[in-house]
Amino acid sequence: MGSDMAALCRLERHLLGTAQEANYLIDLSNVVRDRALGGGAPRSLQRLRLVLRALSESTGDREVTVHAIADNSLLHPRYDGEFPDPAEGALLRAWRDRGLIAAIAKADPDLLDHAKEFGTRVISGDFFTGHRGEHPWIQGDREHFLKPERSGGGPVRLVLRDMRVFADREVSREGERDGLKARNLLDFKGKPRADVLGRSWRCPRPNCNPGPAIQRGKVVCRSHRTLLTDLGPRRRRIQLKILVDGTCHAWENLTEGSAGQDREFVLGRNHLARIEECHLSDERRGRISRQHLLLVSSRGVLRVLDTSLVGSRVRTVRPGGEPTAWRPLPRRDAAAGGVSGQLPRAFGPDDEIELVPGVVLRRSGQRWPEERPEGVRARPPRRPRGGDELTRPG
């Protein structure tokens, strides 16, 4: 697939720098890198040309418009050699500078924000698995996503796709993978860099709880870009998600004890303190005991015992299957002695525990949780509407 710069320049009539008026949204990085659309180069704007031709033919609109959003990395001059013609990279930057396309560190959040706000269809081959916690409307959607397909050297077709329903732990794990990729913490096989993530790090800046990143081969603080000091092996953590009426509003991380040692945690009302009243009423919050659950972590296995005043229950939700019936959690009498041998209920990755109706505890699929192990009542990050991270024309 050679480069015809004149033909590529003529694509400009389809490009709009704002999402509000565009007929479609395009995941530009995904399309340009999709070798299944033709050509052997890692990147090619000819793939965008074929997609826009398919869009014009399928809609019957020769002037159909798109708002295309790219990751910044697609436009970086160091990768111009991956295009059939290095001038394609320069053309992308010219489109950005003229406000015809948008570029941001990570395009997916903006694509989905715009799709949700305006109801515009997205052209992409991505399932956006890691974003379904923030955008649950993607689960099972069959209306808003078009995948470009090409077979046997024929024309590109745009196929309306079933986005399927992914298990909660798959969503968490893929979201974590997206974050690690952005911090250069995946190896050449796409696996997490356990040699970095399995260590504890200290930032020279005071009061910083650093998340490591790789920059020019060095381990740096992702916030301050300062070199981190290696403090030794990091103990395994298990992340729990606290959901209210199906939406995650808080996380809690449990750090295992030393090798061969059990570690106990008590989870209760205070762990929901930062969930706003608009999401969790004071009345429902008050029904959760101060010491509602006792959790014991040992060698990657988590077990749980109900220590509440109201009683809790558990069920198993396996991907693609119907949930099991709710069952009472094993309880411990408040006057009972030690806990050894009194925790028969394993808390597995497919289980969910209901503290009170509508308030559910699940295990996250993340393997490398970043927050501090205790004392942190973290809310899932919310990207501000109209904030600086949203794409802007130019």
Cα 262 → chain centroid = 31
Give the range among 68-77, 119-128, 246-255 with minimum mean pLDDT.
246-255
Class of domain 237-363: mainly beta
CB atoms within 10 A of CB 26: 29
Residue 246 has a pLDDT of 86
pLDDT band for position 2 (50/70/90)? low
pLDDT band for position 379 (50/70/90)? very low
pLDDT band for position 262 (50/70/90)? confident
Residue 382 has a pLDDT of 38
Give the range among 77-81, 231-235, 334-338 with minimum mean pLDDT.
334-338
What does the pLDDT average to over 282-303? Answer: 90
Closest CA to 264 of 340, 357, 167: 340
Give the range among 125-134, 225-234, 250-259, 360-369 with minimum mean pLDDT.
250-259
Residue 389 has a pLDDT of 31
User: In this structure, which CATH number among 3.40.50.11980, 3.30.1960.10, 3.30.360.10, 1.10.3720.10 belongs to the domain 5-160?
Assistant: 3.40.50.11980
CB atoms within 10 A of CB 172: 27
Integer distance in angstroms from the first to the last C-alpha of the chain?
A: 29
pTM of the prediction?
Answer: 0.68
pLDDT in tens, 212-232: 999 999 999 988 999 999 999
What does the pLDDT average to over 28-41? Answer: 95
The DSSP string of 109-168 is HHHHHHHHHH--EEE-S---GGGTTT-GGGTT--SSEEEEE--TT---EEEE-------H
Residue 248 has a pLDDT of 86
Residue 263 has a pLDDT of 87
Above 70 in pLDDT, residue 339?
A: no
Above 80 in pLDDT, residue 211?
A: yes
Question: E strand or H helix at 355, and its extent?
Answer: strand 351-356
356: Cβ contacts below 8 Å, ≥ 6 apart: 284, 287, 288, 310
344: Cβ contacts below 8 Å, ≥ 6 apart: 303, 330
Closest CA to 59 of 116, 101, 121, 138: 121
Residue 340 has a pLDDT of 42
CB atoms within 10 A of CB 32: 25
pLDDT band for position 333 (50/70/90)? low
Give the chain's radius of gyration (CA, Å): 24
Question: E strand or H helix at 58, and its extent?
Answer: helix 46-59
Give the range among 63-67, 103-107, 271-275 with minimum mean pLDDT.
271-275
Residue 286 has a pLDDT of 93
Task: Look up residue 308 and give its DSSP letter.
Answer: -
What does the pLDDT average to over 185-199? Answer: 91
What are the sequence ranges of the domains in the chain?
Answer: 5-160, 183-233, 237-363
The answer to whether residues 156 and 147 touch, using CB atoms and an 8 Å cutoff, is no
Partnered with residue 166 across adjacent β-strands are none
Closest CA to 31 of 125, 111, 160: 125
Residue 134 has a pLDDT of 85
Q: What is the mean pLDDT of the chain?
A: 86
- Separation in Å, CA 182 to CA 23, 54, 136, 169: 29, 31, 22, 20
pLDDT in tens, 136-191: 899 999 999 999 999 888 999 999 999 988 888 888 888 888 889 889 999 988 89
